[in-house]
Amino acid sequence: MSKVKIQNSRQKIADILLKIGSVNINFKNQFTLTSGKKSPVYVDCRKLISFPKERNLIISEMAKQIRKKYKKSVLIAGGETAGIPYSSFLCQKLKLPMIYIRKKPKGFGKGKLIEGDFKSNSSSILIEDMATDGGSKIHFIKSMRKSKLSVKDIFVIFFYDIYPSAKKNIKKMNVNLNYLTSWNEILEVSPNYISNSDQIKLKEYLISIANGK
């Protein structure tokens, strides 16, 4: 394995995810995705919550992105379930109000879809751990707008950035997707963690997915 020097913040985040084992690459024993399909790659950003030092670095980087876009107060919304811990960390760091959005209304009590206190027309952002093709974000964005919340931005740690349908889904929602790192940076940093042969296979696999194969 050849050593690659970390040159920017996106590569730094990619390096953190690789180091703690959030990025799994295995061409011999492939992973089963939620869809049932087999894949040689699997990204688990939920694992990050168990690593305080690395988690704090990533939350700090996302907080910078948010403050750059939102100078005043903004309502932070976490999507069930992976978005909830990250929205909590961010709210604590930025001293901002938080809500969270369920995948479906709970079947008791008030049957709420959105938990927390908020006012109509409040400026808000959606926090999630990652985005693949962007499809899962549609429900959360629709739910927020149905509750008369103004939302223009989604913030995630990891964006696959290889699925052709992603840009279409994001455009359909009329939002901006902000992310800390992607497969592009993983590919750049991966020589520090995997063999040259697997690095070549990874590049070929990502290109094939981006080409719709």
pLDDT of residue 111: 63
For residue 35, tell me if it sits in a domain: yes
Contacts of 38 (CB under 8 A, 6+ apart): 30, 31, 32
Cα angle: 14, vertex 18, 21; to 5 degrees: 140
Q: Which of 110, 172, 182, 178 is nearest to 141 (CA)?
A: 172
pLDDT of residue 64: 97
pLDDT of residue 122: 96
User: In the beta sheet, which residues pair with residue 137?
Assistant: none
Is pLDDT above 70 for 35? no
Q: Which of 24-28, 58-62, 83-87 has the lowest mean pLDDT?
A: 24-28
CA distance 109 to 123: 27
For the chain, give the mean pLDDT: 92
Its domain, for residue 196, covers: 9-210
Q: Which of 173, 84, 71, 88 is nearest to 123 (CA)?
A: 71
For the segment 29-35, the average pLDDT, to the nearest whole number, is: 76
User: In the beta sheet, which residues pair with residue 126?
Assistant: 77, 154
Whole-model pTM over 0.85: yes
Confidence of residue 164 (pLDDT cuts 50, 70, 90): confident
For residue 15, tell me if it sits in a domain: yes
For residue 2, tell me if it sits in a domain: no
Total count of domains within the chain:
1
For residue 191, tell me if it sits in a domain: yes
For residue 4, tell me if it sits in a domain: no
Residue with tokens 């800390």: 180
User: In the beta sheet, which residues pair with residue 176?
Assistant: 153
For residue 96, tell me if it sits in a domain: yes
Instruction: Give the pLDDT confidence of 144-163 residue by residue, as tens digits.
Output: 999 999 999 999 999 999 88
Q: Which of 83, 81, 45, 86 is nearest to 62 (CA)?
A: 86
For residue 1, tell me if it sits in a domain: no
Instruction: Give the pLDDT confidence of 40-78 residue by residue, as tens digits.
Output: 998 999 999 999 999 999 999 999 999 999 999 999 999
Q: Beta strands 150-159 and 176-182: pairing type?
A: parallel
pLDDT of residue 51: 98
For residue 114, tell me if it sits in a domain: yes
Instruction: Give the pLDDT confidence of 107-116 residue by residue, as tens digits.
Output: 655 668 999 9
CATH of residue 71's domain is 3.40.50.2020
pLDDT of residue 2: 61
Higher pLDDT, 93 or 27: 93
Instruction: Give the pLDDT confidence of 122-136 residue by residue, as tens digits.
Output: 999 999 999 988 888
- List of E strands, 40-149: 41-43, 75-79, 98-101, 114-115, 123-131
